[in-house]
Amino acid sequence: MIFNKKDQTTLENIITSRRDVRGNNFINKKISKKKLLKILNSAQNAPSVGYSQPWRFIIVDKKKKDLVYNHFSKSFEKSKKKFKDRKLYSSLKLEGIKESNINIAVYYKKSKKDILGQTYMKRTGEYSVICAILNMWLTARSLNIGMGWVSILKPKKINDIFDIKKEDYKFIAYLCFGYTKEFYDEPELKKLGWKKKKKLEKLILKKGKI
């Protein structure tokens, strides 16, 4: 398949207008099964070390959502102490667990066998799961569905909630999907003055001759 200029612009637009969506922006509208499958299928098309496809998903039911939310609330309270700008941190809405329509917990399936490419860099399996998550985030955005990533969570508590054994799986991410009031044109944390956008020149550690 050869892509044209219009396709390239569309991809650029999807990438630049992807946002982390939180509870202040989700609306009460159901995501169809067809769209959910599109999002999950996009994960299946992600690259993975040795084509191991180590991603696993839990579609979270209402009862478990409440348990995760309660755990988040406690973790959020505790995490406040770590930040100098505690007032601004406390005012941030950093999840949309209850407000979003679908929550998905993402796990990495540990392998007992050797995997091509993973011999020395053991965490490449986990990196593969992150590739799958980004596919899901961008696909959701292309469907005008927002996604929010929640990481103020203790993996052990999440494993307990879902009755998952850490010997077999590693908790990677907790994702919230839903339709939104709007998609901000820039990251909310930038808008609120938490962090500025870094300049590209500052991100290049060493400049080789090209």
Ligand X SMILES: Cc1cc2nc3c(=O)[nH]c(=O)nc-3n(C[C@H](O)[C@H](O)[C@H](O)COP(=O)(O)O)c2cc1C
127 binds ligand X (CB under 6 A): no
Separation CA 171–CA 56 (nearest Å): 10
Binding of ligand X at residue 172 (CB under 6 A)? no
Could you give the residue ranges of the DSSP H alpha helices within the chain?
Answer: 5-17, 33-44, 62-79, 86-91, 124-142, 155-162, 188-191
Is residue 52 a contact partner of residue 113, using CB atoms and an 8 Å limit?
no
In the list 46, 67, 131, 152, the residue contacting ligand X (rule: CB under 6 A) is: 152
Q: Which of 19, 35, 71, 170 binds ligand X (CB under 6 A)?
A: 19
List binders of ligand X among 71-90 (CB under 6 A).
none
The answer to whether 139 touches 10, Cβ cutoff 8 Å, is: no
- C-alpha distance across the termini of the chain, in Å: 29
Which one of 57, 69, 89, 149 is in contact with ligand X (CB under 6 A)?
A: 149
Q: How many whole angstroms separate alpha carbon 79 and alpha carbon 195?
A: 18
Residues with Cβ within 8 Å of 175's Cβ and at least 6 positions away in sequence, in order, are 103, 104, 105, 106, 133, 136, 147, 148, 149, 150
| Residue with smallest beta-carbon separation from ligand X | 187
**Tokens 């392998």 found at:** 111
Told to check if 22 binds ligand X by CB under 6 A, we report yes
Minimum Å distance from CB 19 to ligand X?
4
Ranges within 177-206 binding ligand X (CB under 6 A): 187, 189
| CA 37 – CA 140 distance, rounded (Å) | 11
Closer by beta carbon to ligand X, 50 or else 131: 131
**Count of residues of this chain found to bind ligand X when the rule CB under 6 A is applied:** 11
Interface segment toward ligand X; rule CB under 6 A; list 19-27, 52-60, 97-105, 160-168: 19-27
Please report how close the Cβ of residue 128 comes to ligand X at its closest, in angstroms. 15
The single residue among 20, 36, 143, 169 that binds ligand X, judged by CB under 6 A, is 20
Chain residues in the site for ligand X (CB under 6 A)? 19-20, 22, 94-95, 149-152, 187, 189
